[in-house]
């Protein structure tokens, strides 16, 4: 099913994790073992199979804060899930669409947020297309034998044509700092995302010089 065919719900469960960011077009493997998140997973699977990863805000008590996570996040779809005899589960969460948390419908035993989808802007399509090609080339130099990123990712990026998707896949794969990941996720302009990533990957290739 294409991303554009997936309806984003008005409310969605939120799994609060420190330093974790899921991008649209990205994937995140998860191991669900806490009782509250087992209940959250059951809730999601019984409905639209969707929940968000809430990037916990630094310096707050996520258990008691009224605003424990960054409000811009990604609605994720459970693509595959295996539940084990002990009640734990392994699953693969696929990022679908940037959303903003605008309120909370439930706090316990797990959080449920009210959300609105966030638009993406492509102000200069020719510049975005050029930057996306450069980004694929830079990514290719960081993939494959002897690198931390797989050859499969290199081949995947060569097949992706949409600059928006390229930016999201590269962001998920190559940006490791939680602050930078959240900053990138919150950029609404695709050209800005691509420029940020071209600079970031160029630094990775040169060792930060």
Task: Supply the pLDDT for residue 164.
Answer: 93
Task: Supply the pLDDT for residue 77.
Answer: 97
Residue range(s) defining the domain that contains residue 143: 125-206
Q: Are residues 92 and 145 in the same domain?
A: no
Show which of 117, 147, 164 is a domain's final residue. Answer: 117
| DSSP result, 110-139 | SEEEEEEEPP-B-S-HHHHHHHHHHHHHHH
**Which residue do the tokens 């040169």 mark?**
206
Show which of 75, 91, 117 is a domain's final residue. Answer: 117
Angle subtended by helix axes 178-185 and 163-174, to nearest 10: 170
Angle subtended by helix axes 163-174 and 190-206, to nearest 10: 40
Hey, which residues does 11 pair with through a beta bridge? 114
Q: Are residues 8 and 68 in the same domain?
A: yes
Q: Are residues 108 and 12 in the same domain?
A: yes
Q: Are residues 95 and 129 in the same domain?
A: no
pLDDT in tens, the chain (209 residues): 456 678 999 999 999 998 899 999 999 999 999 999 999 999 999 999 999 999 999 888 888 888 899 999 999 999 999 999 999 999 999 999 999 999 999 999 999 999 999 999 998 999 999 999 899 888 888 875 455 556 667 666 666 678 999 999 999 989 999 999 999 999 999 999 999 999 999 998 887 65
Q: Are residues 147 and 198 in the same domain?
A: yes
Q: Are residues 18 and 99 in the same domain?
A: yes
Q: Are residues 55 and 131 in the same domain?
A: no
**CB neighbourhood size of 204 (10 A):** 16
Q: Are residues 98 and 135 in the same domain?
A: no
Task: Supply the pLDDT for residue 85.
Answer: 97
- Give CA–CA dist 6/1, Å, rounded: 7
Task: Supply the pLDDT for residue 205.
Answer: 86
Show which of 117, 140, 170 is a domain's final residue. Answer: 117
Q: Are residues 55 and 140 in the same domain?
A: no
Task: Supply the pLDDT for residue 95.
Answer: 96
Q: Are residues 49 and 17 in the same domain?
A: yes
- Give CA–CA dist 205/201, Å, rounded: 6
Q: Are residues 132 and 31 in the same domain?
A: no
The two structure tokens encoding residue 72: 């811009």
Residues composing the chain: 209
Number of domains into which the chain is organized: 2
- Range 132-144 burial, b when 16+ CB lie within 10 A, else e: bebbbebbbebbe
Task: Supply the pLDDT for residue 21.
Answer: 94
Q: Are residues 7 and 108 in the same domain?
A: yes
Please tell me the pTM assigned to this model: 0.89
Hey, which residues does 89 pair with through a beta bridge? 32, 83
């Amino acid at each position: 099913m294409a991303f554009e065919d997936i309806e984003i719900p008005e409310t969605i469960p939120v799994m609060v994790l420190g330093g974790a960011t899921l991008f649209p077009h990205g994937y995140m493997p998860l191991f669900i073992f806490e009782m509250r998140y087992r209940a959250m997973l059951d809730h999601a699977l019984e409905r639209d199979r969707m929940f968000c990863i809430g990037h916990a805000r630094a310096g707050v008590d996520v258990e008691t804060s009224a605003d424990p996570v960054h409000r811009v996040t990604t609605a994720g779809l459970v693509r595959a899930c295996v539940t084990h005899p002990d009640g734990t589960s392994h699953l693969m969460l696929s990022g679908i669409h940037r959303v903003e948390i605008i309120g909370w419908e439930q706090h316990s035993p797990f959080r449920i947020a009210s959300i609105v989808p966030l638009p993406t802007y492509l102000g200069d399509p020719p510049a975005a297309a050029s930057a996306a090609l450069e980004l694929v080339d830079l990514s290719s130099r960081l993939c494959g034998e002897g690198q931390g990123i797989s050859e499969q990712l290199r081949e995947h990026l060569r097949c992706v044509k949409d600059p928006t998707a390229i930016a999201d896949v590269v962001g998920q794969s190559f940006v490791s700092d939680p602050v930078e990941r959240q900053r990138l996720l919150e950029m609404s302009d695709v050209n800005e995302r691509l420029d940020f990533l071209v600079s970031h990957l160029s630094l990775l290739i040169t060792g930060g010089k």
